Amino acid sequence: MKSADVGADGRIARRFAALKAEGRAGLVTFITAGDPDPAVSQAVLNGLPAAGADLIELGMPFTDPMADGPAIQASSLRALKAGMTVRKTLEMVRGFRKQDADTPIILMGYYNPIYAYGVEPFLADARAAGVDGLIVVDLPPEEDEELCIPAVKAGVSFVRLTTPTTDEARMPTVMRNTSGFVYYVSIAGITGTASASNTAVDAAVARLKRHTDLPVAVGFGIKTPDQAAEVARVADAAVVGSAIVTRLADGLADGGDGADAVRPGTVEDVLGFVGELAAGVRAARG
């Protein structure tokens, strides 16, 4: 299956082409929009590219994030408590695009908030804001008419998840309308828990490459620069989410009225950690 160059002016395809030309894998970072509040979240988002993020996943907060572990669940609750919405998430992307026209942004989340927004207006607004792709974890390929196909027609990539339980018979169905890149979930479970073995990741990436020419990004369970480097030796990108979200949560303190307060230097600490991850990824094939 050949990949489609969709998404806002092909940013995802161009970024992976540039990474291939450099002879290295990319770092995909995840944060939750609005965590712990819109201002801090925007500051982290804006700082990610300079810290070393090659692509960014921006989580859309949701009350029931069933694929996510405790760290990202808590981040969604903090963001919702701070008043974050889908519309405000798109405003964050607009703010980011004022200072970065090149780094791909993929919105990650669940279908319910998009359905409530309205698929057509959501896709139009997302595209106008500068969104390049979507990862919607609770829509299987059998429901592609709901969002996947409209997204691709609107020029927004639809990134599909594959897992260790996606067998050979299922793989063509999963890949059929996938675009942008393939996200391999390296463990059977929720985010931020166990980590897969290097041998298992190597075999999984090789198997996926037999089914698609799309780049393969590997995530779930990557917590350290060394783990990111191991993945970057075989995959096209390493995805780190829970570890970054946890680093941000570690910078929060009780503000005295029950509200979370951000300790001074927290944004810089989070971006410094991203820099360490990026250094690991960049050294992986050196």
Q: Name the residues annotated as catalytic.
A: 57, 68
Residue 261 CA to residue 220 CA, distance in Å, equals 28
Place of tokens 């360490």: 276
Closest of 102, 117, 183, 101 to residue 150, by C-alpha? 117
CB 123 within 8 A of CB 95: no
Residues 104 and 7: their CA atoms lie apart, in Å, by: 9
CA–CA separation, 266 vs 15, rounded Å? 29
> 196 near 223, Cβ under 8 Å?
no
What lies within 8 Å, CB to CB, of 138 at 6+ separation is: 66, 67, 110, 111
Q: What is d(CA 35, CA 210) in angstroms, rounded to the nearest whole number?
A: 38
Residue 267, amino acid: V
CA distances to 11, 65, 225, 270, 279 from 282, rounded to whole Å, are 20, 31, 10, 18, 5
